[in-house]
Amino acid sequence: MSRNLLQMTSKIFDEFAAQVSDEHKEYIASVNRHISISEENRKECCGLLKDAIIVGRRHKYLPTVVFIKYKEVFYVGIDTRYAEKFETFGYILEENLAICIGCQILSIAEKYYQLKVESKELIDCCLGLQSEEGKKEVVFSEDDILDLVYGLSIFKILNNELGIDMDSLDDVLRVSVLLLVANNEKKSNVYKETMEKLLSMICVRKICGNILDFLIIKDNRIKFLSLYQCIEFLFVPNRASEFVEKYNMNISDALRLHINEAMRRDERVNALAILKFAGTPLIHRMHILLFDESGGDKELEHINNWIYDKRCSIAHFRYGQQKNEETSVNEDILEMMIELLVEIFSNINQNMKDICSGLIKLDESTLA
């Protein structure tokens, strides 16, 4: 991949123009625009713009996160409003200003940013400006451009505490959702600590979309379904892992077999197989919460039946197949479900973790 600053400039101003509301578009000046990088930063900054590889995703609910590779060095760009939270995971800010400027300009050009100004201010400060008399273009400094967006704090990846895969869009989402949780002041510390523990594991990469749904959806019933889907996701990896042990198969072959062929267990049996990864103390606490009494050696079965029946009640009610089922779910149950997921994903075997983290890849079929 090879770019230059002129290409970046054109993409940036085109992107800004696309964000202007219809009522202000007539004020966009027809003029050449240029970004001038300060001399001491220009060479290295332009080198990064030319050769760096960037991975990111844009989501209206999430802070901006990008992964950038340049000269075999990995960087993570974090929406500056969330940077302090990212530091708590052991990451250190990059001090090279040229690298920081380059990463931010590249992110804007690739549409990984959030504007912090309204449409009219974008016109007044940037797109509506005419060139001075005798000049053919309007020149902006890097600060002029970066002041229009929520900036990125750039971290060089040395000790990679979160096990971030710099090529993984799934990990962009995982880090974004983790920061959203860590920055949420409305949730209890116990809730946040449990969710952070879950999102800190690389083996949850493939379920982060479900976790995001849990966070942004307001209906507790649908929140419950999104957490159940994290359990459901493990059905195929678990069956594949069982075949590896039973038939001495390669894990990729076993996984392909269970993706492409119908599974020979009903869903309740599959769910029970996954709940077995949870520890007995948590299962006991959950049984007390749900049934207000001990269940002896039947606690795991009781909980599995309750979870699966609740899943069915909500799903059937949601799609109008049933009207009178009890579908309410309280906050205590949701918090316990998150604890359950932490234990399950902590205790699944390595083959399952490799599948869930995206380390095992198939040629034709994936779990994405």
For residues 359 and 207, the answer to whether their CB atoms sit within 8 Å is no
Distance CA 23, CA 118 (A): 12
Residue type, 89: F
Strands 92-93 and 152-156: antiparallel
Least confident segment among 35-44, 147-156, 317-326: 317-326
The per-residue pLDDT for range 60-111, each reduced to its tens digit, is 889 999 999 999 999 999 999 999 999 999 999 999 999 999 999 999 999 9
- The residues with which 163 forms a beta bridge, in sequence order, are none
Q: Three-state DSSP class for 328? A: coil
Closest CA to 352 of 242, 207, 211: 242
- For the cut 90, the answer to whether the pLDDT of residue 328 exceeds it is no
Q: Three-state DSSP class for 94? A: coil
Q: What is the pLDDT of the chain when averaged over all its residues?
A: 90
Least confident segment among 218-222, 260-264, 271-275: 260-264
Q: Mean pLDDT across the stretch 237-252?
A: 89
Provide the pLDDT confidence category of residue 318 given band limits of 50, 70 and 90: low
- For the cut 80, the answer to whether the pLDDT of residue 13 exceeds it is yes
Q: Three-state DSSP class for 160? A: coil
CB neighbour class for 123 (10 Å; exposed up to 12, middle 13-18, buried from 19): buried
